[in-house]
Structure 1
Amino acid sequence: MKNLLRFVVPEATPLSYKERLRAAAGAWIGILVTGLVGYIAIGAGLALPALIAPMGASAVLLFAVPSSPLAQPWSILGGNTVAAVIGVTIGLLVPQPFLAAALAIAVSIGAMITLRCLHPPSGAVALTAVLGGPAIHDLGYGFIVWPVLGNSVALLALAVVYNNFTGRPYPHAIRPQAAGHGTKDPAPVERIGFSSSDLDDVLKEFDQVLDIDRDDLETILRRTELRSYRRRATHLDCANIMSRDVIGVAPDDSLKNAYSLMRNHHIKALPVTNDVAEVVGIVTQTDFLDKATWTHGHPRIGFLQRLRLIATGKQAPNDTVKDIMTSPVQTILPTTAIEDAIIIFAEQGLHYLPVVDANQKLTGIISQSDVLVGMLADKAASNSDSDASDAIR
């Protein structure tokens, strides 16, 4: 019986009660407001439907799984529009209703896959266009504009506002590509496991529509892989390997002074702290190369960087550290395990991580090299303990 239930009831991703409530409340608000907007738009005297049933299915996607490729703006607008056009056209050309309905669904699916706007509720839109009765048939191609597009635009607008307000970025953002080195070497995170091309090849072999963004799938797999490494790693924390005598700068220190510190101390990154030692940024060699202009061997803020700063509403640049520093900056705690630091380095493409206390005050800094040395030393210690245990036996 248990096996039968597992076969009938699919395994679900664990969801908190908060997320369940968020999705349900979003759908309630979305359908209610979309219906009211439709009622106000068409008026009580017209025989047009204020709201059509497929919007209920769209609400499930838009509010319960807003990161799904099937729930993105092009999916709902393109899918519903394409399905409505096909449904109305086939309804006019094919008199037999069941044959027309089957053709409308089949052609709509093929068109949506081709146009990359697959949206399951659009199948119901095509079906409504064929089997919706005299009120829908009398609209003809007007059915596409209202209620299909009208409802779709209203529900989509509400989904954008509600999802972002409740902490679910929507539309689902495309993952930015990590800056490469301009060489054939893969990104660091790809050197310890599968490559992106491996995933693409498997997806081609799988040859099925997946209800998950391809980049999200890769991120989940990579994090799983990194966590498996972390589980098998030894548990040395960052306090054991961090540099404690840290050379730092203030936001208002000159670029010339900051660069001199880097050269004199042979370091490649400087944490930036305020008057109470809180970390507010970091400045690296890359920042000097990408954001500063060199004149007579000294760095200063060039014209393009000045425009960037002005466009972001920051204070007028005056050739100081705050004009090129990276802020906000990723930080870690002294108690952070080095295997967790490895994940941050690998996923975010960083080379240095300031270490702060519970009050965000600077206590140290670690580099990728520190982590590597720490892992090797800890591994050697573990091997020595193992050898000693074997000798005792």
Structure 2
Amino acid sequence: MLIPPPLRNDPLARKAFRLFVPILAGATLRDRAIACMGALIGICLTGFVCASAFGSDPFLPFIVAPIGASAVLLFAVPASPLAQPWSIIGGNTISALVGITVGRFVDDPMLAIGLAVALAIAVMSLTRCLHPPGGAAALTAVIGGPTVAAAGYMFAFVPIAANSTVLVLLGLFFHRFSSHSYPHVPAAAPTNTHGTSDLPPTARVGFRAEDIEGALADLGETFDIDPQDLDRLLRRIELRSLLREHDDFSCADIMSRDVISVGETVDADEAYTLLLDHGVRTLPVTTAHGRLAGIVGLRELTGRMGVVGNAMTDAVVSAPTSPAIGLIDSLTDGKTHAVVIVDENQRILGLVTQTDLLSAISKVLARRLEDA
């Protein structure tokens, strides 16, 4: 959170603003509100479901304390590897089993609690379900008293596994309506779409996956983020840096305005001929009302019969006022050859190709070299 300029020299103002700075990168007030709502719904319904299922047993709690910690991860940081379904269900259940086993074979309580948590970390790591509340589940299994001792290994399944499973199912449902995807799937690494051994264009210059692995090894720290997500984050930082440094020209400045397009009902052979006659690689496809419907290229039209609408694919679009440098991400993905520039009604205003963008960047760089 940025401190307003008039308050930057006020020590009390700086201290007050720090109280509202998010501890987690990317955390916003909206995210925290969603997390609170998710925890409220998740814990209440988990307790209700489990109490209805086995709450009549006076010797077993219907919900255990580690589930509260699991809810924090599930709803506050759903992208964390520690908050994924297998981490929650497997981590809590396996740790409870470890704690029960240690409690049965180790009589010294101080040694037992230490061994339970230590072994839980080891087993969760080996089974790829590391989950911080699992340590609490292992500890609970050791110091839970006569109730847990009487339940034996069943305690790991009822209530631990049952609580964890219900909470995860509720989290899956809740995050369908939040702004987060769950389970979190890390971004796929860039791939070469041409079936050759070359690296994809975005990976030929700049850092690579092995650089990230090496940097993590250099730091000697474990971070709560998937390496693929870290790769995606760093590439997004590179793009935003380019946007900041090269916002000299917009899409409207470099786009082709006399765009060759076809209607959805045009014959595929006719569209194929248009591509060859005009020496272009892609054609925007319009609806009967003149709005953008999709895009076709030589690949989509080769060997196709019928109308263009049956062969078109989704178009990548942008607004005329958007910085043209922001199109780098799309135009270097190995699949997109042109971005369609549209207005708010999805009517075609222009087209920016890879050549258009490359030409504009080369001119900007040349001008900056001259100025230097």
TM-score, structure 1 normalization: 0.84
Matched, 1:203 2:206: no
Residue from 210, 219, 227 that aligns with 2:232: 219
1:115-134 matches, cutoff 5 A? 115-134=127-146
Please state how far the C-alpha of 1:34 moved relative to its aligned partner: 0.4
Matched, 1:230 2:243: yes
Q: Which residue of 2 aligns with 1:365?
A: 351
Q: Check whether the contact 1:108–1:126 (CA below 8 A) recurs between aligned residues.
A: yes
Residue from 264, 276, 279 that aligns with 1:266: 279
Q: Check whether the contact 1:234–1:378 (CA below 8 A) recurs between aligned residues.
A: no
Partner-residue secondary structure (3-state), 2:166:
helix
Q: Which residue of 2 aligns with 1:191?
A: 204
Matched, 1:110 2:122: yes
Distance 1:265 1:4 in 2: 63
Matched, 1:154 2:166: yes
- What are the ranges of 5 or more consecutive residues in structure 1 without an aligned counterpart? 301-318, 388-393
Please state how far the C-alpha of 1:52 moved relative to its aligned partner: 0.1
Residue from 313, 320, 323 that aligns with 1:326: 313
Compare 340-349 and 91-100 and name the one that shifted more. Answer: 340-349
Q: Which residue of 2 aligns with 1:173?
A: 185
Alpha-carbon distance change, 10 to 375 in structure 1, aligned in 2, over 3 angstroms: closer
Residue from 43, 67, 86 that aligns with 2:79: 67
Distance 1:23 1:333 in 2: 33
Alpha-carbon distance change, 39 to 77 in structure 1, aligned in 2, over 3 angstroms: same
Q: Check whether the contact 2:259–2:350 (CA below 8 A) recurs between aligned residues.
A: yes
Q: 2:124 is aligned with what amino acid? A: M
How high is the sequence identity, in percent, across the aligned residues?
40
Please state how far the C-alpha of 1:127 moved relative to its aligned partner: 0.5
Partner-residue secondary structure (3-state), 1:281:
strand
- What are the ranges of 5 or more consecutive residues in structure 2 without an aligned counterpart? 1-10
Q: Check whether the contact 1:193–1:225 (CA below 8 A) recurs between aligned residues.
A: no
- Which 4+ stretches in 1 moved above 3 angstroms? 1-6, 9-12, 176-179, 204-208, 346-349, 378-384
* Alignment coverage as a number of residue pairs: 357
Matched, 1:86 2:98: yes
Alpha-carbon distance change, 110 to 45 in structure 1, aligned in 2, over 3 angstroms: closer
Please state how far the C-alpha of 1:179 moved relative to its aligned partner: 4.6
Distance 1:23 1:179 in 2: 34
Distance 2:334 2:319 in 1: 17
TM-score, structure 2 normalization: 0.89
Q: Check whether the contact 1:332–1:354 (CA below 8 A) recurs between aligned residues.
A: yes
Please state how far the C-alpha of 1:192 moved relative to its aligned partner: 3.3
Residue from 351, 366, 390 that aligns with 2:337: 351
| CA deviation map 1:115-170 (0-9, x unaligned) | 21110000101001111111111110101210111000000001111112112110
Alpha-carbon distance change, 185 to 266 in structure 1, aligned in 2, over 3 angstroms: same
Q: Check whether the contact 2:121–2:130 (CA below 8 A) recurs between aligned residues.
A: yes
Matched, 1:341 2:327: yes
Q: Which residue of 2 aligns with 1:244?
A: 257
Distance 1:28 1:234 in 2: 44
